[in-house]
Structure 1
Amino acid sequence: MTDTLTPVLTDNWDVERAWTLPSYESRGGYGALKKALGMAPDSIIEAVKESGLRGRGGAGFPTGMKWSFIPQDNPKPKYLVVNADESEPGTCKDIPLMMANPHVLVEGVIISSFAIRANKAFIYIRGEVLHVIRRVQAAVAEAYAAGHLGQDIHGSGYDLDVVVHAGAGAYICGEETALLEGLEGRRGQPRLRPPFPAVAGLYASPTVINNVESIASVPSIIEHGHRWFASMGTEKSKGFGIFSLSGHVANPGQFEAPLGITLRELIDLAGGIREGHQLKFWTPGGSSTPLLTDEHLDIPLDFEGVGGAGSMLGTRALQIFDETTCVVRAALRWTEFYKHESCGKCTPCREGTWWLVQVLAKLEQGVGSEEDLELLLDQCDNIAGRSFCALADGAVAPIQSSIKYFRDEYVAHLTNGGCPFDPAASTLFATSGALV
C-alpha cells in the first residue's frame, strides 16, 4: 500500500535538521535553481505549463497559465506573492512543509520570480504561527548568505529580494486580493475584480499569487522535467499533493501521494478509522467544501473526481468523522467560524452568516420545525454567489451538503427536543424519531 505514496516535498521531513541549508543542499537542493538560471524565463513557464501543475491552494487553476498572464510589456515592476496564510479549518499542509523543508519553498520562489521577471517577492505567513515565520526568515537569510538571493545571483545578472511578511491573523487574508490589501498595510478585505492581480495586483502592478505547495513543487519540475511530474496523477490533475488526514483515524498526518488516490486508500495508510467505529462523513478540502459520506470512499481525489461528486478538492484537508459525531453540531461550529471571520465588507456575507448561526443554533437545540430547514436552505441560496469573495460560498457549503445527506438527523433534533446524541456515550441513542 505504501507504494502509492510519492514523497517529494516531504521526502526529507525525517532528516536531522532538515530545515537547514547544508541539509537541503546535501540532497541536491538549489540544483534546480542553477539549472533554471541557464534557461530562458519563457522556457520555465512553458515547462510548468506542460507539467500540468495546478494551484495547490484550493482553486486548482493551472499555475503556468497564471504566470503567462503577466503582461511583460507593462513597465511597472512585477511581483511574486506566496500565500502562506493557511487558515482553512482542517488544512495543515503548508505549515509543516515550511517548518521541515523551508528551502524548497525559497528555491521555488527564486525560480518562479525569475520566470515572471520579478525582482521582488513576498512570502505572506499567518501571523499566529511565529515559529514558522522565524523558520522561513532563517531560511531566507541562509539563502542570501549563500548567494542564492540578492544581487547578480550566481553570476546570472538576475537580482531578487525576498520579504517574509507576517499577516495580522485574519482568515479572509487567505483570499488573494485581501492578502494584497494586508501587504499594502490596509485592512484585509477582498477587492472587486477586474482588474485582476495579474494586471493590477500589489501596488497596482502585475502580480502572481500562488500557494506555498504550488511554488514548492516548481524545483522538482525543473530538476526532473515536466514529463516526470505529468507521469503522476490523473489525466487532468497531474502530479502529487500533500493530503492532510485529521479526525477519527488511527494515525492522522500528512500523506504525499499522486492526485487521484482514493480516501479508502488513504484511510488504510492512516491505520483505518479508530477501532470500533465507522466513517460517517468527511470533508475533501477543508470545512468550506461540501461534505461527503462513506458512499464516496472510492472516488478519485482529483479536481474532476471530487467535483463530479458534488464537492471540491480544495486544499486536500480530509477531516474524518465517525458515527459519534453530530453533523448538525459540526455544521454549527463551522458556521460560527465563518460568521466570526467575515470581514463585513459585503452584506450577504456579513448579515447572512449571522442569521445562519441563529437558525442552526435553534435547530441544534431542537427548537423549531421542519420549515426552519427550508428557511435555512433559502438563506443559503440568498448568500451563495452574492459576495465579493468565496467566504460566503464556503460558509453555506457544509450546511447545504449536511442537509442533503443527513436531513433525518436534523429532523431528529426537532423530534427529540435537542441533540439525539448521548453526551456520555458520545453516540446516537434510540428515541422516537431519532437516529440509531
Structure 2
Amino acid sequence: MSASPPHSLLLKNPNRHLLRNPNNATTTGFNAFPLNYSSRPNKRISITCSTAQVQDRPATTSQSQDRLFNFAAGPATLPENVLKKAESELYNWHGCGMSVMEMSHRGGATTQFAAIPLNLCKPDDPVDYIVTGSWGDKAFKEATKYCKPTVIWSGKSEKYTQIPSFDLFEQNLNAKYLHICANETIHGVEFKTYPTPKNENGILIADMSSNFCSKPVDVTKFGVIYAGAQKNVGPSGVTIVIIRKDLIGNAQEITPVMLDYKIHAENNSLYNTPPCYGIYMCGLVFDDLLAQGGLAAIEKKNIKKAQILYDTIDQSNGFYRCTVEKSVRSLMNVPFTLEKSELEAEFIKEAAKEKMVQLKGHRSVGGIRASIYNAMPLAGVEKLVAFMNDFQARHA
C-alpha cells in the first residue's frame, strides 16, 4: 500500500501536526476534523470520596466583567456558578483523588463496529476478522448485520493469550477488509507488527482504542484506524477515525446520517455539535505529547513501565501469574492473577488503602488488571510493584 491515497483524520484538533505524522515520517495530505461517537453503555462504579460537603455557590444574576454575553444557539451559554463549581472540582472531584473525567464513563468507539461495514461494504461483501479478545469479537458480531464477515482466527480456545504467525491466517482473497483490534484491554494482548491483507485491493482496519498514541504507527499501512479517546488521548465521548480518502463516499443506503463518513468529511465534522470540551482536552494532551518528545519518546517510557511490572510478575516464583505469551504482551494493560486466588480481593482492598484504585480485573475474566496508559507516571508503577513485593512477602 505504498501508493495509498492520503487519509482524512476525523477529529477536531488544533494540534493537527501530531497526528498528521504519528510516526515522525514524511506523510502529506492529512486533514483534521471532529467526530463524536460515544456508545458503550454507562455503568455505575463505586468510588470512596470525602464526606465533606461542597459548598453550593449561589446563582449569579449578573455577568462577570471578563465574560461575554453569549447568544449562540449552541453550544450555548452555561450558568456562571456552574462553570466555577466545575472549575473548582476539575482536578479532585469531592476528595476522590481523581478528576470526574478520569472516572469510568463507558464512552468509546463501539459505534464504529457498525459504521465501518456500513461505509465500506455492500450487504453481500466478504470481510475477514482476526479475534484476539473480547473487543474483536464484539466488532465481528456487529458486522454480521451489515456484510458477510468471517473469523479467520480466534484466540478464544486459548483464552485470548496469544497471536499466531500471520502465515496461519486463512484469508479470503476477496475480502474487502481485514479487521484487527490492535490492543485488547481485557486480555492484555497487543499486535507488535501488523498483518497484510492478501486481497491486493483489500485494506487493513484497526481498532486502536487502547494503544492509540502510545507508540509510532505508520498509518499508510491501514485503510482505517479508529480509537476511543478515553485511554490515552482525552475524556470519554470523542472517537478518532483516520480513513483513507478514497474510501469515503461508498456507504450503504441504510447507513444513518451520523454514521456516514462522507457527511462528516463534507461538513468538516460539524454536521452536528461535537463534544467541544472533550476535543479541547484532546488538544491539550497532544500538546503535552509533543512537549515530551513525541510518540517515539512516549513509547520508550511505556516500555520501561511495562517491563518493571512484567518483571515483578515473572520473578515472583508463581505468586503472580500473567498467562499472555510474552511476545504479544500489552504495554497498556497488564492482567495477572494470584496463585492463591482467594487473596485477590484482599490485594485490591489493601492497594486502595495505598491510593491505588481500579485494579480489579474485568468482570469476564476476574483477577487483577493494571492499565498503565501514557499518563500513568513511572512513580505509579514503581509504587504498585513495591506493594506487590510487600504483599507477596506477607502472604507467600
Bigger helix share: 1
Q: TM-score, normalised by structure 1?
A: 0.28
- TM-score (norm: length of structure 2): 0.30
